Amino acid sequence: MEYPKEPLRFEDQADRLLERGLAADREELISRLQAVSYYRLAGYLHPFRLRDEQDKPLDRFVEGTNLQTVWRRYCFDRRLRVLTLDAIERVEVSVRTKLVFHFAHANGPFGYCDDANLPKLSIGDYLEWRTALQEETDRSKETFKKHFFDKYGDHHRNLPIWMLAELMSMGSLLTFFKGVEPDLKRRVAEEYGLPDEVTLSWLRSLNAARNICAHHSRFWNRVLGYPPLLPNSRKFPDWHGENKLPTDRCGIILMICRHMLRMISPSSRWHERAEALFNEYSDVPRASMGLPEAWANHPIWNPISKS
């Protein structure tokens, strides 16, 4: 089927939204559309669409839908993405540091060049990982790369793992963690008070969340494609029972970040910035994020509240 739609002028886009029941000043709406695009704003308008008896969305908005409310959700989401990326960066750097430390001491600076040291990867996955690392190395303009090859390039074609790690994408880091021997994986995970399979699952979910946020996609009410595993209910009861949160919403990502940052940097004030953001946008529905209204009292977020 051929796509039949033609591009619309910003004025026509605004008129279409107004005709569908969006309450807004026309000039302000045009300005917003020029800044973020019709298609992008439509993602934040979707929850306000009326639905038919089969629960299919109609091209009309619920009575009272206004631009101010929709725009506040857009602004909240933009700031939430920045906040989430900040936490994920800290987690990524920490895990990378610990993984490289343990791996290098066990296998040497160039141990990653031997697929036997990544026994949990198939040969195909290993070769794909090495290819991605080579591409990341070739693209890099880092001074340390040039210095290494100028000095040692007559003998080495590859960077030591601690240099290479600085060029790794989070996806490559995830593959690296997945591939190492189980004992090494456990040693890294124990530093965060977690089982290794949970740590791997969390890294996978954080990587997916990072990609959403880094590409400026809608995050706050999205259904996650990689729900994380929760640790064992007997050893980690705070993640279960009445405290259990949906694992397919961004709220669980925030809780994971909070747990990891407490391990990485106990003095971090990231959680205070998160609470300030939620307080500023108290009108944004918590349930769409998989969070209860009193989410800041959750024992993972605020262990003191348990007492």
What pLDDT, in 10s, does the model give residues 223-254?
999 999 999 998 999 999 999 999 999 999 99
Residues 6+ apart with CB under 8 A from 213: 81, 82, 84, 85, 88, 219
For residue 306, pLDDT over 90 is answered with: no
How far is 103 from 100, CA to CA, in rounded Å? 5
Per residue in 1-36, pLDDT (tens digit) is 988 888 999 999 999 999 999 999 999 999 999 999
Tell me the C-alpha distance between 47 and 280, whole Å: 21
Region 41-53: what's the mean pLDDT? 94
H-only helix segments in 168-293 = 170-179, 182-190, 196-214, 250-264, 270-280
Angle, alpha carbons 75-229-122 (nearest 5°): 110
Query: Residue 76 half-sphere exposure, CB side, CA atoms within 13 Å?
Result: 24
Q: What pLDDT shows up at residue 83? A: 98
Q: What is the pLDDT of residue 219?
A: 97
Task: Summarize the confidence of residues 41-48 as an average pLDDT.
Answer: 95
Domain locations along the chain: 10-65, 74-306
Identify the pLDDT of residue 5: 86
Render pLDDT for 115-148 as a digit per residue (tens, 0 to 9).
Answer: 999 999 999 999 999 999 999 999 999 999 999 9
Q: 169 pairs with which residues across the strands?
A: none
What's the confidence (pLDDT) of residue 307? Answer: 43
Residue 61, φ and ψ in degrees, nearest 5:
-100, 150
What pLDDT digit, counting tens, does each position of 204-224 carry?
999 999 999 999 999 999 999
User: For 164-210, what is each residue's pLDDT tens digit?
Assistant: 999 999 999 999 999 999 999 999 999 999 999 999 999 999 999 99
pLDDT in tens, 69-84: 999 999 999 999 999 9
The pLDDT assigned to 3 comes to: 85
| CA dihedral sign, ordered 201, 203, 205, 207 | negative
d(CA 63, CA 22): 8
Tell me what pLDDT residue 12 has.
97
Amino acid at 136: E
Mean predicted confidence (pLDDT) in 43-66 = 94
158 CB-near residues (< 8 Å, 6+ apart):
110, 113, 137, 164
Predicted TM-score of the model (pTM): 0.93
